[in-house]
Amino acid sequence: MHFRAFFLPGLWYNKRKTNARGENVGKCIIFCAAGFDELAQLITKDDYIVAADGGLQHLKALSLAPHAILGDFDSLGYVPQGSQVFPVEKDDTDAMLAVRHGLARGFREFWIYGGLDGQRLDHTVANYQTLQFLADHGAAGYLIGKDYIVTVIKDETICFAKTAEGIISLFCLGADARGVSLQGLKYPLENGTLSSGFPLGVSNHFVGERAEIQVENGSLLVMWDRKNGFPER
């Protein structure tokens, strides 16, 4: 059943489930202003919803109310009641404000809608860096677009089921990514190095086997067809 919520921002915060480390067990789901078509999965009662500026329009279309609304509201064009308002001239993008908000509340997994298919290429690149920010803070982040899902992995391994198909691409972020191993893909790699100056990892392919992507030291931007869902990590 589709989850529909009608509540004031922050209403559920003190009732959330946490693990032994005090981290929230649900996901922080952020809606930004760029393109959006549908949810990748149903939202549950343990998830925490944030509207970043114009992302509020997507939530209205879903009949979902956010726990928090924040931004400078240059995209939305008005300031919603109960929102956290920030100046237009600031260091953080609205997506980054939302990520900081979720991290401060103990969330370790972030799904970002409306951050991949916009007309502003500079904001798309900024959102790639936001994924790196999450990885640097020990959290997992995903940009969920109409056709692709994008994440950053840092010093870790992710795995895809053997049912995955289509293209998967990897790009080094920052300093060289070392100890890169790719198994179960058309173009395997063992203990390789990817640099930010050459796109060696572009256009690999799933081949009907369980796929494993590992980087021992450094960060990789990984993108794949949305139909394949989310990896194990």
Query: Which position has the token pair 């790719």?
Result: 182
Rounded to whole angstroms, the Cα distance separating 179 from 176 reads: 10
pLDDT in tens, 121-157: 999 999 999 999 999 999 999 999 999 999 999 999 9
Q: Which of 227, 212, 214 is nearest to 161 (CA)?
A: 212
Domains: count for the chain: 2
Supply the range of the domain harboring residue 77. 13-146
User: Can you give the pLDDT at residue 4?
Assistant: 35
User: Can you give the pLDDT at residue 22?
Assistant: 67
Residue 136: which H helix or E strand, with range?
helix 121-136
* Claim to verify: residue 189 and residue 139 sit in the same structural domain: no
In a domain? residue 233: no
Mean pLDDT split into 10-residue runs, the chain, 233 residues = 34 54 85 95 94 94 94 88 86 94 96 94 96 98 97 98 98 97 98 97 98 98 98 96
* Claim to verify: residue 27 and residue 94 sit in the same structural domain: yes
* Claim to verify: residue 42 and residue 104 sit in the same structural domain: yes
* Claim to verify: residue 70 and residue 114 sit in the same structural domain: yes
Of 146, 169, 196, the position where a domain reaches its end is 146
Rounded to whole angstroms, the Cα distance separating 182 from 186 reads: 9
* Claim to verify: residue 94 and residue 51 sit in the same structural domain: yes
* Claim to verify: residue 39 and residue 142 sit in the same structural domain: yes
* Claim to verify: residue 117 and residue 26 sit in the same structural domain: yes
User: Can you give the pLDDT at residue 3?
Assistant: 33
Of 111, 146, 181, the position where a domain reaches its end is 146
Whether the CB-CB separation of 82 and 9 falls below 8 Å is answered with yes
* Claim to verify: residue 118 and residue 171 sit in the same structural domain: no
Rounded to whole angstroms, the Cα distance separating 222 from 172 reads: 9
Listing DSSP states for 8-59 in one string gives -TTTTGGG--B-TTS-BSS-EEEE-SS-----SS---TT-EEEEEGGGHHHH
User: Can you give the pLDDT at residue 1?
Assistant: 25
Listing DSSP states for 148-213 in one string gives EEEEEEES-EEEE-TT--SEEEEEEEEEEEEEEEEESBSS-EEEEEE-TTS-TTTTEEB-SS-EEE
In a domain? residue 93: yes
* Claim to verify: residue 21 and residue 111 sit in the same structural domain: yes
- What's the CATH number where 72 sits? 3.40.50.10240
Rounded to whole angstroms, the Cα distance separating 159 from 153 reads: 11
* Claim to verify: residue 30 and residue 125 sit in the same structural domain: yes
User: Can you give the pLDDT at residue 8?
Assistant: 35
* Claim to verify: residue 140 and residue 172 sit in the same structural domain: no
